[in-house]
Chain A
Amino acid sequence: MINDYESIIGKGLIDELWLLAEHLKGKSVQNINSTAVGGGVAEILNRMIPLLRELGIDAKWDVIKGGEQFFNVTKKIHNALHGAPEEISSDMWDVFWTTGEQNSKEIPCTADIVFIHDPQPIALINQKDVKNNKWIWRCHVDVSHAQAIVWEALRGHIIRYDATVFSAPSFSKPLPIKQFLIQPSIDPLSDKNKELSRDVIEEVLVLYGIKNDKPIITQVSRFDSLKDPLGVIEAYKRVKRYVDCQLILAGGTASDDPESANVLQKVMLRAEGDPDIHVLLLPQNDIHINAIQRASSVIMQKSLREGFGLTVTEALWKGIPVVASAVGGIPLQIKHKFHGLLCNSIGGAALALKQLLQNQEYAKKLGENGREHVRQNFLVTRHLKEYLLLFLSLYHTEDVIKL
């Protein structure tokens, strides 16, 4: 319930959500992405859709379908958009566009506003001419260093949308259509982020065979090479020489990420022989993730590339000190030495971990600042407000809109 957020953000902001929604009453918004579970996009939609409906907006959510070949290509496209060297053959592009056309037949995009998330369903824009509705492409990826060939292949479709949305100013590329800046968010009342009792946290640790007898360093992420889990293990090993600690690498898999099994195998191999490294392949259980984050002394996010990095937001919200790479949206969330510590290498990560593990007061202060920063800027209520403004903006052209 939207009013449940009042104790966190205040009555005035809740009132404004209702006032804005009045101007969109009866409008339908169709969200489309590529996975119902796993990853930040699905997580946000899971929370956002019920809130939009409560505000009187007819919000829907469809998920495109695709076989293994399709998701292999979309993973490569995802990596290439992040700037990684990937070769995408013309056969692969055929799979991508053909699957797009098949999905287009199965998912009629008839809502007043069609909200496409990320590149996987991008071809659905071909339906735009059928109904004179509004189309938004929401890009959660940092495309600033995208491989030119891959970007060009998608660009022709992107520019047919009415507007795009990026998570950071630096993530975008020049486009002849409107580009809005909307940062992602977490939900403070979801199972993943709500307060947990000490008992629940202890129970979860016992469930996974983890003793809370030494400091815990944790990285929660999909097993994905861009999240650099091997780098995390190396940083932990450097710290371990000075501070007796343990490491949790916790992650699930997403149905649109075929690479994760290979990465997990490499991680298991590297962790072999050290009983203080816990590699947890978690089921989709948000309470467990929440408990593990809350049990941690430090949370890491040592990504090589990152979208916005919602695992960082989650950690900051819980007041846990964070060590994270200065990539993607992470520097937007962490001002170095104020909300957490940023790093650019394994050595830097190890040094930051030692600083936090050996200076508890400093770590506590960073944690407190981080939580407040999230409360002000990265909660779902702010996100909801900006989506309402985004929808309203589609029906106006002026810079100052009087409602």
Chain B
Amino acid sequence: MNTTDNSFIFYSRLHLIELTGIKASNLSELLEHLRTVPGSCIYHHTHHFIQRHQYLSPEPANDFAYWASESLGDKQLGEELASMDPIAYPTIRLIREAVIEIIEKALASRERLKKLTVPENEEFTFLKSTSFIFPTQYVAHNLKEFIEGLSNVSISSIYYHMFEARLRLERLTNDFSNWLASSLNEKQLALKIARLDPYTHTAEGLRAAILKILEQKQ
């Protein structure tokens, strides 16, 4: 994050998961709750997988997609929900609307979905994240220090700056690109980092990809 002297402070964001007691056993119930649950629920179910995607594993794209495929047993809806890219939306409200729209369209076009219900114990359980944001000890004033910080911070810090910046700033950018372009005038580097796709990188792979872009410049 930029400070007044144009340095970059690496922050981190950690999560504690809370159970809400809200459950859905069919798509109508899911829709009803999707409209009313707190934004921190929507955030949790569409973002926590990204941080868990730390090695080659069949993690679902988001919890709604996984539930539709595996518990409700409708692969098509699961795929439609999985193809939604939460990182492309600048607000939780828009993510919520996108999920609702996919489910509403599916329900309107395929009658059988209205009859589907999950077996006992496979209800969708709404969870929410309590987030803790704090500065790490790494501060960069130039590219060299930035690379050093990036090499040492946790992967939570990288996700915070890369992906959650969009939700925080409500614009399609990330903190790294923003700082590189505005403080170091490194517009090309900023653009290359902004183009990285989280779906094709594991956690450490993402760090390595950013470092590679930066080190090529040095």
Contact = CB atoms under 8 A, between A and B. Distances in A.
Interface of A: 10-13, 15-16, 19-20, 23, 144, 166, 169-170, 172, 174-175, 178-182, 335, 338, 369, 372-373, 376-377, 385-386, 389-390, 392-393, 396, 399-403
B19 A373 contact: no
Nearest to B18: A180
Nearest to B15: A389
Interface string B7-31: 0000010111111010000000000
A369 B57 contact: yes
Interface residues of B, number: 34
Contacts of B14: 16, 20, 385, 389
Given A23-B134, A180-B16, 5 more contacts: A12-B156, A15-B136, A19-B136, A179-B18, A386-B16
B132 A175 contact: no
Secondary structure at chain B's binding surface: helix, strand, loop or mixed? strand
Given A11-B152, A144-B121, A401 B19 contact: no
Given A389-B132, A393-B130, A372 B55 contact: yes
Given A181-B17, A403-B133, A169 B57 contact: no
Contacts of B136: 12, 15-16, 19
A169 B19 contact: yes
Contact of B16 (A19, A373, A393): A393
Contact of B19 (A16, A180, A372): A180
Nearest to A401: B132
B185 interface: no
Contacts of B19: 166, 169, 172, 179-181
Given A179-B21, A376-B55, A393-B16, A12 B134 contact: no
A123 to B, nearest CB: 24
Contacts of B12: 16, 19
24 contacts: A12-B154, A12-B156, A13-B154, A16-B154, A20-B132, A169-B19, A169-B125, A170-B125, A172-B21, A180-B16, A180-B18, A181-B18, A181-B19, A373-B55, A376-B54, A385-B14, A390-B16, A399-B40, A399-B128, A399-B130, A400-B130, A401-B130, A402-B133, A402-B134
A371 B174 CA distance: 33
Residue picked from A144, A181, A390, A393, most chain B C-beta under 10 Å: A181
B144 interface: no
Interface string B127-140: 11111111011000
Contact of B38 (A12, A399, A403): A399
A31 to B, nearest CB: 18
Contacts of B173: none
A403 B134 contact: yes
B157 interface: yes
Nearest to B204: A10
Contacts of B127: 169, 181
Interface string B23-47: 0000000000000001110000000
